[in-house]
Structure 1
């Protein structure tokens, strides 16, 4: 199991990828598999073995290419076919270099597979299989060498659950980015006459710049800001919240925060983009709307939804057990050569 060198597994706060990998490793070990996690830093919290390629987490260099490339190069030198049946790669650049490995590689695509990232993925070696985390993500670029679709999952055993609708503020929980729509969340809550908590990741230069230029001028007493909350604080915010608001402005490939919210019994109010309709049962675990103008009414209406229905939905569809079984099927079929990695021809446009 190969993760980027930025964060520990599990992460102390923000880090959906690392949270997913934590649950997956523990469940696979519980199924009797021998799993080695390749990452960075000096510690981890999984049930698997751990191999660190560098003593310090490389979070301060997030956005640079060399730390991840060096991480991948070091992994390649220590992996042999005698020791491993399959590599599961969660890095960004990994699919581009995985064809040089002596062990079959499946790679989960955690981002939106279009634009520059799509160009990188389109050059994936034919011996590498890509796994989508939603059908919406896969439809965004059907010409890639997909070998399966497996939903991300949450180990909800330690997640607090509420028994009745939350009476706290509406919660927006994401990184500060125009794609995540914090400005729309402020406008929707003001129109609904409801308080809002913006709990945002804000430690990269682009995030700090966006917050200062676009979000901060909109703030008033009706908006509480929580910066870079740890895991415990995030769970408290989710349990107390009236609902989670997701006014996303991009084709979200999954949106782990929606699963986390529903696992606590907190419904989701979201715009219909990307994977949202796959994750949220409209009218049962949340309210999905087409236009920002529809969000204020949904925020007022959402308290009628049953928290128990949100929890049951996560337990049934987004459990680590279900995720592990999905990946086991991909591992077996791909490692045994039963999957044909086929590309659909990409349209050629000459300008």
Structure 2
């Protein structure tokens, strides 16, 4: 394994195998919230002197030793089971030859092989755990330890083998800070009904503000939703820009008056919220999932219970201090904070052989 060039290996360094999902490169070229988080975590751990092997699909895009399961990510096959299963099988075979202290798996099918390896497996739960995903992790039993990405997520399934809570994070300095905002608002995400793009258009229009929308539109369900709910709402004051790459996303986030985040599900985190605030842009969101853990109401945005309350919040967002938004992310959602959290969880899991102990709540990172 290799570490970041010029970073000496610590005496207490850990040897970590990181397994990515198969669908996008790490870091992603466009959409890919998990892949973005993974790239930041690998960089942060490498800076701390740990040995990282990343198993994923596509190109090598981080400082870690990279082992590929696919030459190109099978992005066009999202939703099909075989790419996920084949990726998991290849990842297990590749990891066998790596001398590791722990395997940190972010894929769906990968944890199925956890019981067959000698070292502990840690799984970050990136999805909704109060349904079939939670049942899946329960069925895996003590073979895996789980990490929640928010307290809200952990509350949905308190009986899982939680080893702690570690919020997702960004490299704050990689996002441009915009103190002077333009007069339009932004929606950014995946064109899925649960993400509420149509509600964002309605709220912006009710506030008399132009809205720009940028997001992933590749799967059939996304196209169906777009044609049914989004396209009929587009017009001079509501424009869909297509999918934004990393550079374009930062430009949009830094310039927007606010980010609208009217989610319709218990989203366990929401990376775009901290990306917006890192740019000094407040977030106007509905009170679902992890939103109240991420956004400080009245300081870095507004958290509202009803859709009808969003237009007034859009207007009020213009008076919030962009510097407070940036500071909040730097203090609570920066990569260094996340990396320190995962270090603590890794050591706990390695020491206890993936058996969670009483009092693991002390691993949870501060919310504000």
Q: State the SS of the aligned residue for 2:111.
A: helix
TM-score by length of 1: 0.94
Aligned residue among 333, 337, 352 for 1:318: 333
Structure 1 counterpart of 2:81: 65
1:17 aligned onto 2:26: no
2:170 pairs with 1:168: no
Aligned position for 1:328: 343
Q: What residue number does 1:150 align with?
A: 166
Return 97-106 or 282-291, whichever deviates more. 97-106
* Correspondence for 2:128: 112
Are 1:300 and 2:315 matched, yes or no? yes
- Shift in Å at residue 307 of structure 1? 0.4
Which of 48, 51, 55 aligns to 1:34? It is 51
| Mapped pair 1:217 → 2:232 | yes
Which deviations, in whole Å up to 9, do the C-alpha atoms of 1:62-81 show, x marking residues without a partner? 11111111111112223238
Per the TM alignment, residue 82 of structure 1 is displaced from its structure 2 partner at its CA by 6.6
Deviation at 1:338, TM superposition (A): 6.6
Please, which runs of 5 or more residues in structure 1 have no aligned partner?
A: 344-351
Say whether the 8 Å CA contact 1:188–1:295 is kept in structure 2: yes
Residue of structure 1 in register with 2:361 after alignment: none
Q: Establish whether residue 44 from structure 1 lines up as the match of residue 53 from structure 2.
A: no
Query: What is the rounded CA distance, in whole Å, between the counterparts of 2:30 and 2:330 in structure 1?
Result: 22
1:231 counterpart = 2:263 = no
User: CA separation of 1:276/1:39 partners in 2, compared to 1, >3 Å: closer, same or farther?
Assistant: same
The answer to whether the 8 Å contact 1:95/1:125 transfers is no
Q: Is the contact made by 2:41 and 2:339 (CA closer than 8 Å) also made in structure 1?
A: yes
In structure 2, the residue matched to 1:56 is: 72
2:112 aligned with 1:92: no
Contact persistence 2:104–2:122 (CA under 8 A): yes
Distance 2:179 2:236 in 1: 29
Residues 73-122 of structure 1 deviation map (CA, whole Å, 9 limit, x = unaligned): 11222323870100000012223332222321000000111222222222
C-alpha contact 1:80 1:102 (8 A) present in aligned 2 = no
Unpaired runs of 5+ residues, structure 2, are 1-17, 359-368
Aligned to 1:80: 96
Does 1:102 find its partner at 2:102? no
- Whether the 8 Å contact between 1:81 and 1:103 is mirrored in structure 2 is no
**1:310-330 Cα shifts (integer Å, max 9, x gaps):** 000000000111111111111
Residue 282 of structure 1 aligns with which residue? 297
Find the residue that maps to 1:304 and give its secondary structure. Answer: coil
Paired residue secondary structure (2:318): helix
SS in 2 for 1:198: strand
SS in 2 for 1:265: coil
Three-state SS of the structure 2 residue aligned to 1:266 is: coil
